[in-house]
Amino acid sequence: MSELMHAQGGTNGLRRLLLKTASALALFAVASPEAVANDADNPLVWIELGGQFDAVNDGHAAFTPPYLLTTPRPSFETGSPDNLQHGPRLGWDGDVKLTLQPAESDWVLSASVRYGRALRSRKEHNQPPPIAITAYSGYAFGPFAFYEGTARTLNTHVIADFQVGRDVGLGMFGLRGSSVLSLGVRYANFDSTSDTQLSSQPTILPNSAHLFHATAHIHRWFAGVGPSISWDASTPFIGNPESGSLWLDWGANAAILFGKQNVGGSHETREQHRATSGAIYSNHSLVARNHARSVPNVGGFAAFSYRLQDVKLSVGYRADLFFGAIDGGIDTAKSYDRGFYGPFASVSVGIGG
C-alpha cells in the first residue's frame, strides 16, 4: 500500500509540475510583445527529442545471509553473491525539451523531462562433480551439494527541469553563437527494486546435509526538488544557416535537491537440517525507513550539431551525477551515488517565425 501511495504521489507531483510548466510557457508567449514577430534564423519555439545510452552508477548493499559468510567456503562455490547482486551497468534515457525564445529578445524559457530505465538479471549455479558413495543398502549417487543464486534489479529515474535564462552571447570569447545562463527548478525521482534468491547445500555427505534458502525483496526510492543553475553554449564553425552548418555545443549544470530517501521490503533466511533431529531454523525481517536528504547534483555535456534552417541534429556525450541520492543499505542506512553518463543523440525542430 505504501508503494502504491508513493507511486501515485510521484505521478501527481510530476503532472502538476508539467501543467505549471505548460501554463507558464503559454503565458510567456502570449504576454510577450515580441512573440508576434520572429525571423527564420531564430524560431520562436524549439522542440527537441533525444535518447541516450547510459553507463549507470548504481551502488547498493548486497544481501549476504550468515551462512554465506562462513569460512572457508566449499571449494566448489566459485560464484560471488556480491557480483551476482551488482546493480545495472547499462541503461537508456529518453527525453523531450521545449524551448521558447521570442524574437529580438535575449530571454529564454525552457522545460524538459527525461525518463531512464536500467535492468540487470543474473543467475549462478555451482556444483561439484558427481560421486558415488558405498553404503550398506547399495550405492548413493551424488552430488548432494550445490549453490544457486538469482538476482534481479530494476532502476528507473525521472528528471524534470524548468528554467529561465538569458543569452549573454560569446563575444567575450571572440566567438559567434549563444551563451545562455539559466536559473530554475529541478525535480528528480529515482526508483530501484531488487529481488534476490540464494540456495545452498554445502555438504557432500547425504546424512549430514543442511539446506539453506534465503530471499530478499528491497524497494528503494528518492524524490527531491530544488534550485538549479546551468550554462549552455553553442557556436558555429563551418557553413551557413541556409545551406547547412556545423556547430559545437557544450554546457554544465548544478543543482541541490531536497527530498526523502525511502527503503521498504523484507528478507528471510531458512535453514533445514537433514540430520536425525530434522530441526528447521527461520528468520524473517522487515525493512522500513525514510529520512530527509539533500542531494547535490552536477553534470555537463559536449556535442556536435548539424543545423539546416530550422532543423538541428546533435550527437555528443552527457553526464549527470547525484551524490548520496539513494539509501542502498538493507538493515542499516547507507547512502550511495547515482550517475548516468554516455553518448546521446537528439533532433530539434524550430517552429514559428
Please give the pLDDT value at position 217. Answer: 95
Please give the Cα distance from 135 to 137 (Å, whole number): 5
Q: How far is CA 72 from the centre of its chain?
A: 37
The single residue listed with the C-alpha cell 538469482 is 150
**pLDDT by residue for the chain (353 residues), tens digit each?**
444 444 444 445 544 554 454 444 444 443 433 333 334 457 899 999 999 999 988 888 888 887 776 666 777 777 777 788 888 889 999 999 999 988 778 899 999 999 999 999 999 888 877 665 555 544 555 557 788 889 999 999 999 999 999 998 876 666 778 899 999 999 999 999 999 998 888 776 655 567 888 999 999 999 999 999 999 999 998 988 677 899 999 999 999 999 999 999 999 988 876 554 556 778 889 999 999 999 999 999 999 999 998 899 999 999 999 999 999 999 999 999 999 999 999 999 999 86
Please give the Cα distance from 80 to 87 (Å, whole number): 14
Residue 85's closest CA among 119, 118, 122? 122
Please give the pLDDT value at position 71. Answer: 64
Please give the pLDDT value at position 81. Answer: 78
**The three three-digit cell numbers of residue 15, written as one number:** 503532472
The single residue listed with the C-alpha cell 521490503 is 265
- How many other C-beta atoms can be found within 10 angstroms of the C-beta atom of residue 287? 18
Residue 271's closest CA among 215, 214, 216, 331? 214
